[in-house]
Amino acid sequence: MQFTKMHGIGNDFIIIDGFRQQISEPSTLAKRLCDRRFGVGADGLILALPSDRADARMRIFNADGTEPEMCGNGIRCLGKFLYDNGICRRESMTIETLAGVLALEIEAEGGAARRLTVDMGAPIFDPAKIPVDAANNRVTLDAAERRVGFFCVSMGNPHAVTFDLYPQDDEFHRLGALLERHPLFPRRANIEFCRVNASGGADVRVWERGAGPTLACGTGACAVLAAGATLGLLPREADIALPGGTLRVRWDDGGHLFMTGPAQVSFTGNVE
């Protein structure tokens, strides 16, 4: 089976061409291939599949085998994969996900996609749709031996964002694992710990649902901008700095969030 290893500012994925290869039991395959000691190693497995609603369909599986609704860095990698391999050789394309059909714009150089902008849609603040088991989308949770406020938002997948806490490594790992599975989040949640930086954007550490600590999270960056702008902490367009690099996020007057960032190929290979 052929695969391509890709990453979006360090958030890495194994991409498999489902147009030409038949994939069975993708959840089991994801757990095996994503293992960084006994497999290829990645945060997730992405299948590029035909769609009757868009140019392609994305299925993504976390390293633990769970299937999330969407992934911002993953969809940029998939867009580059489709463009560079001639599956969809257009600078505007659409990709079907469990969170709906999303539009991508490609910035190409030398015949290859370099930067991609994704229309991530409108953020969802309705607690029932995020989902969060609370009366509204702002909750206070026990963390770091104190009460910490979180702003909950869905970008097609659930996020809990705080600007009240920016933990260091040991505390980050402990709290991330604990909060991801907090009883208030019936489908678990991605957790973003944030601080406003000197450039007017935000520094962010992400604990991803089903993957743990990752170098970047595209939907997380959008959730941070939506939360920060709503709380009056960030402008409606800002750089979101993650451990692996920076994403530019813009919240337009029509209510949609647009995320811009790179996607790169690490290597290609074959696996039994």
Residues acting as catalytic residues: 71, 217
Strands (E), 120-256: 138-143, 146-154, 158-162, 190-196, 202-208, 212-214, 237-242, 245-251
Write the single-letter amino acid at 197. Answer: N
Q: Identify which of 185, 254, 171, 261 has the alpha carbon closest to the alpha carbon of residue 222.
A: 261
Measured distance CA(143)–CA(38) in Å, rounded: 34
φ, ψ of residue 104 to 5 degrees: the values are: -125, 145
Q: Identify which of 105, 119, 218, 222 has the alpha carbon closest to the alpha carbon of residue 161.
A: 222
Q: Are 213 and 6 in contact (CB under 8 A)?
A: no
Q: Are 30 and 63 in contact (CB under 8 A)?
A: yes
Write the single-letter amino acid at 43. Answer: D
In 3-state terms the chain splits into helix, strand, coil percentages (rounded to 5) of 15, 40, 40
Q: Are 99 and 70 in contact (CB under 8 A)?
A: yes
Backbone torsion region of residue 174, taken as left when φ is above 0, otherwise alpha when ψ lies between -120 and 50, otherwise beta: alpha
Which residues partner with 104 through β-bridges?
93, 118
**In the Cβ-directed half-sphere of 51, how many Cα atoms lie within 13 Å?**
22
